[in-house]
Amino acid sequence: MEDETDGCEGERDVNQVNPFWPARLHVVTGKGGVGKTTVAAALALALATGGRRTLLVEVEGRQGIAQLFEIPPLPYQERPIAAAADGGEVRALAVDPEEALLEYLDLFYRLGRAGRVLRKLGAIDFATTIAPGLRDVLLTGKVKEATTRTVDGRRIYQAVVLDAPPTGRITRFLNVTAETARLAKVGPIKTQSEGVAAFLRSPMTAIHVVTLLEEMPVQETIDAIGDLAAAGLPIGRVIVNAARPPLLTAGRITQAELRRGLAAAGLTTDREAVAGLQAEAKAYLTRQKVEQSLRAELDELGRPIVELPLLPDGVTRAGLDTLAATLLAAE
């Protein structure tokens, strides 16, 4: 296993108070619609705080990172996209399976231009179509390479954050290298698959699951964590996105209380308005009980939980910084 320091003076001391240490690769997954790309971006900003450099990677071809940061579509090239607090930098990469395969062929078989010819002949599409698992092996292999890459004994990135496939596919996506290593008898594919599979199961990796306090996302989170644990993959934190602070604490809101409150605020106290407000308060308290129940279900997982606030102005750069600060303050 690689040395956990990267040659930066004071790196170990700073990371000792980083709640996401010692992992270097942070895999972020979640049910569609829970905001996993937003959380992945905020985590990359958090981990870059203090003059560090992080890499934010996507592998699904959605260009979600480019849309989030309002920049042109990302090429298969690592590019700076944002500055973090205290002089840090976030770079981004959209991994393309075809380019990753060409890179792999050049690295292990020295095909060079011959690999480009293969692409023109359609061999790249053919290879990834007849062996769908090969695509994920290439994608995870590229992420592992970026995480462990060094120059003159120093890591290029202090952390890599992967905006991964959703919870329904995450275990298969991360476990395919172990399956490939078992199937391949000899050669570079077996060697690479074994190396990636070992890395994904090491303390260098943490898989964080993003959810909302809603029934379906919480159930998918529970199922995904069970599947990941069964596959021997390292689970990090459960991240509850868009959490709302409680607005009401009373178990029952009477119309008399509402009239007094409305009168004190100089607002109308007519019967229709009071009745409507009471109905809304009841619905809110019911929803609050559901969220408390869902929190209890997440607590039973025995994983550290971070709650990120709902951003009232939507996902802006200032909002991402707010989420990043919340992540860094996690226990």
pTM: 0.86
Does pLDDT of 207 surpass 60? Answer: yes
Higher pLDDT, 291 or 245: 291
Q: Which of 104-108, 246-250, 268-272 has the lowest mean pLDDT?
A: 104-108
In a domain, 215, yes or no: yes
Strands 88-94 vs 79-84: parallel, antiparallel or unpaired: antiparallel
Q: Which of 183-197, 264-278, 291-305 has the lowest mean pLDDT?
A: 183-197
Tokens at 112, concatenated? 């060079």
Q: Please tell me the predicted confidence (pLDDT) of residue 141.
A: 87
Helices marked H in 49-161: 64-69, 97-109, 113-120, 123-130, 132-148
pLDDT band at 51 (very low <50, low <70, confident <90, very high): very high
What's the rounded mean pLDDT across residues 139-162?
94
**Structural domain total, the chain:** 1
Tokens at 32, concatenated? 């569609």
- Residue of 12, 62, 7, 57 lying closest to 33 (CA atoms): 62
pLDDT band at 194 (very low <50, low <70, confident <90, very high): confident
Per residue in 15-36, pLDDT tens? 446 788 889 999 999 999 999 9
In a domain, 156, yes or no: yes
Q: How far apart are CA 174 and CA 233, in angstroms?
A: 8
Q: What is the chain's alpha carbon radius of gyration, rounded to the nearest angstrom?
A: 23
Higher pLDDT, 107 or 150: 150
| 3-state class (DSSP) for residue 211 | strand
Q: Please tell me the predicted confidence (pLDDT) of residue 106.
A: 62
Q: Which long-range contacts (CB under 8 A, 24 or more apart) does 102-106 make?
A: 103/142, 104/138, 104/141, 104/192
Q: Which of 94-98, 179-183, 216-220 has the lowest mean pLDDT?
A: 179-183
What separation in angstroms does the CA of 239 have from each of 24, 47, 231, 271, 299?
Answer: 18, 16, 21, 42, 12
Higher pLDDT, 189 or 71: 71
Write out the E strands in the chain. 25-30, 53-58, 79-84, 88-94, 150-151, 154-155, 159-163, 205-211, 235-243, 305-309
pLDDT band at 124 (very low <50, low <70, confident <90, very high): low
In a domain, 24, yes or no: yes
Q: What percent of the chain has pLDDT over 90?
A: 57
Domain span at residue 27?
11-246+301-328
Q: Please tell me the predicted confidence (pLDDT) of residue 245.
A: 85
In a domain, 283, yes or no: no
Q: CB-based burial of residue 186 (10 Å sphere; 0-12 exposed, 13-18 middle, 19+ buried)? A: exposed
| 3-state class (DSSP) for residue 178 | helix
Angle between helices 123-130 and 132-148 (to 10 degrees): 100
In a domain, 63, yes or no: yes
Sign of CA dihedral 310, 287, 302, 200: negative
pLDDT band at 184 (very low <50, low <70, confident <90, very high): low
> H-helix or E-strand containing 23?
none
Does pLDDT of 222 surpass 70? Answer: yes
Does pLDDT of 130 surpass 50? Answer: no
Does pLDDT of 138 surpass 50? Answer: yes
Domain CATH code at residue 205:
3.40.50.300
Farthest-apart Cα atoms in the chain, separation = 81
In a domain, 287, yes or no: no
In a domain, 251, yes or no: no
Tokens at 326, concatenated? 């919340």
In a domain, 1, yes or no: no
| 3-state class (DSSP) for residue 240 | strand
Q: Which of 6-15, 109-118, 272-281, 317-326 has the lowest mean pLDDT?
A: 6-15
Average pLDDT, the chain: 85
Residue 232 Rama label (left phi>0; alpha psi -120 to 50; beta)? left
- Residue of 166, 148, 144 lying closest to 157 (CA atoms): 148
